[in-house]
A and B are shown apart, each in its own frame.
Chain A
Amino acid sequence: MTHVSFLEKGKDYQGEFDYIVIGSGPGGATFAKVLADAGNEVCVVEAGPWRDPEHYPSSFYGGMRDGLDNFGTTFAKGRAQWPVVQGCLVGGSSVINSAICVRTPGDVFEQWQRDYGFGGESLAKTFWEKQDKLEELLSVSETRDEYLGVSNKLALKAGDVNKIEHHVIRRFVKDCEGSGDCFQGCKKNKKQSLNVTFIPDVIEKGGTVISCAPVNRIIFEKDRAVAVHGSFRHPLTKKKGAWFDIRARKNIIVAASATHSPALLQRSGVKHPALGQGFMSHPGGAVMGVYEEKVDMHFGSTQGWASMEYRESMNLKLETLSMPLETICGRVPGGGKELMEHLKQFPYMANWVQVVRAEARGTVRNGLFNQPDVRYGLGDKDMLRFREGTYITSKLHFDAGAKFVVTNVKGLPAYITRDQLDLVRNGPTRPTAYFGACSHLFGGCTMGTNENTSVVDTTGKVRGYQNLYVADASNLPSNLGVNPQHTIMANAWQLADQLLDRI
């Protein structure tokens, strides 16, 4: 048995393995691969279905339905309600992201050392060694010039004009052909998402993958985690299927995401004062430039350009992010004939984003129907950066030749010309005035040396419990200011190595 998918009621599933890994995203898949490579019998349990490139949808709507956790309806509730974007399928968010590969910056390890008692140069060295290997395994490369697309090329021009640090993004993609459908999953199978790389490796090494299987709870015998229990869920009808009960001979590794891991531990009865605390993200917003020349932004790599110029000074990262036609209606102002008139401009639009390394911290609780309840509101300092990011992105558009920009900021004109840029810079700072989303999620089961403020120790083990580990973004104690997939994978790998060394 290598892959078990949705089972109808009455066909209950039971099994026993050395290790159970809950979640198959960057953390879970990497941890599972390291364990399987070492000869262990591993079972990966994933809430979502296993979709191969031939199953991927074409449209954004299909991407929401087939790829996003809860159809994208998880919201961070705070001063505004911004959606929390994450995948729910085998391979996790690696299937629906742009596969951006950024090494963990050195200052992150310094911060962890200073604030959480672990990190420093030795951990940095370990991470970077793992990241070297990951880049080789997952064929990291830059998109070739002919597949970059006009939007990314315009951003390169803006970066040159402004003499800021900027670059073509390195991604976990082999020979990108610029089909522009990273979000829906790469039908050309160029993206090295974990459903087509590490998870098949686990199966090849004798592992088992159980998909469409959200874990309801972890079962304990005294303080020892021994099994997981749940029921299958059909990915389309959401119909409940058979029960599954899976026992672990050695350890259970939780890697269900920064929202689901703390919620799962809570409903399993894990007690720790910091559990569900310290949730963080990189909230982002977008600015669209409207150009004289044809952009057709959905041709070319979805995200091909980035700038780290403002990461340290303003906690900002800038990127291009192409959007398909069906998503643009919500981003363009107005309604009726006015909106339709604006939509004629779609082929001339380029969408670029700014993401903030926010200082705000929130909480995650196990909510209704076992869904994570995220409370997270940006503070004034974060919003000032968000506004400044909107200004910088707008200015870059003008420097690339945009006629005007669409910021979608409430209270500002629908279309902004270069001489109105100060309106953006002095615009509102209340989150409800912006159209934002929270991507890159961290915390909730944070790692550290302090017993009271860190849920897991520096080996990833949950404090106060035996055989239970956390190995995803929920154990990262701070946000990074860069795309996190590489860091999550390197962290999972080094934690898996530590576990195997001890055994």
Chain B
Amino acid sequence: MKSVTIFAMNEVMPPHDGMPGIIDTNAEAFLKEFKKNAHPIMRLGFWASVWVYVLSPVFTVYIPLPAFLLSEKKRFQHMEIYSNSHSFVFSQLWLLQKMITGMCWGMDDKVRAYYGYQPYSPELGDFRKGDRQ
């Protein structure tokens, strides 16, 4: 499950020309945090976007295989067709896949270092405790 998710994320943001891609980031830690703390609707939407992306080559490149078993050329074609779909549902799923992937990517220390930005400090989600705690 995790490897399929990271595959789909890396399809969106692969390493390119010296720029780190998803496989260079700490995607596993991000997914763990996402699974633990993200809103259920967001989690459901993201998992749906991953699985629809992985299982839809039969509709895009007419090959009844999951995307991770396609050749590089066919994977590229699949992404081109899928990401330009006129279906509102598919385009929303693609947007969600990109958004969550982009968050994982853009907040990673290696990516920020590539741009010369400071790393983010840890985010503990802490809050003010009451007087009775």
Hey, which bits of chain A sit against chain B, CB under 8 A?
A: 1-7, 11, 49-52, 54-55, 57-62, 65-66, 70-73, 80-81, 89-90, 211-212, 235-236, 324-330, 334-337, 339-341, 343-344, 346-347, 410, 432, 435
Contact = CB atoms under 8 A, between A and B. Distances in A.
A73 B19 contact: no
A344 B99 CA distance: 17
Nearest to A209: B130
Given A4-B130, A57-B125, A341-B16, A326 B105 contact: yes
Nearest to B85: A410
Given A58-B123, A59-B120, A336-B12, A324 B128 contact: no
B14 to A, nearest CB: 6
Given A71-B38, A71-B42, A330-B95, A66 B106 contact: no
B92 interface: yes
A334 B83 contact: yes
Contacts of B79: 335-336
> Taking each of A51, A73, A235, A410, which has the highest tally of chain B beta carbons within 10 Å of its own beta carbon?
A73
Contacts of B16: 337, 340-341
A70 B19 CA distance: 33
Nearest to B122: A58
Nearest to B111: A325
Nearest to A71: B39
23 contacts: A5-B127, A5-B133, A7-B132, A49-B127, A51-B127, A60-B107, A62-B123, A66-B123, A80-B88, A235-B125, A325-B107, A325-B111, A325-B112, A326-B104, A327-B102, A329-B99, A329-B102, A329-B103, A335-B79, A335-B94, A336-B79, A339-B13, A340-B21
Closest 5 A/B residue pairs (Cβ): A329-B102, A326-B106, A71-B39, A5-B130, A49-B127
A334 B115 CA distance: 20
A contact patch SS: loop
Given A1-B132, A340-B19, A340-B21, 4 more contacts: A60-B103, A73-B42, A211-B128, A327-B99
Contacts of B129: 5
A447 to B, nearest CB: 32
Contacts of B103: 59-61, 326-327, 329
B130 A6 contact: yes
B79 to A, nearest CB: 5
B91 A410 contact: yes
Contact of B115 (A5, A327, A347): A347
A435 B13 CA distance: 20
Given A71-B38, A330-B95, A55 B127 contact: yes
Contacts of B11: 335-336
A2 B128 CA distance: 12
A269 to B, nearest CB: 27
A326 B107 contact: yes
B121 interface: yes
Interface in B10-35: 11-17, 19, 21
Contacts of B125: 57, 62, 65-66, 235-236
Contact of B37 (A73, A90, A236): A236
Nearest to A3: B130
B116 to A, nearest CB: 8
> Taking each of B19, B102, B121, B127, which has the highest tally of chain A beta carbons within 10 Å of its own beta carbon?
B127
B107 A59 contact: yes
Contacts of A55: 124, 126-128
> Taking each of A11, A343, A344, which has the highest tally of chain B beta carbons within 10 Å of its own beta carbon?
A343
Nearest to B12: A335
B93 to A, nearest CB: 12
Nearest to A8: B133
A341 B16 CA distance: 7
Nearest to A430: B88
A70 B21 CA distance: 29
Contacts of B102: 326-330
B10 to A, nearest CB: 9
A114 B45 CA distance: 45
A4 B94 CA distance: 42
A49 to B, nearest CB: 4
Contacts of A337: 14, 16
B101 interface: yes
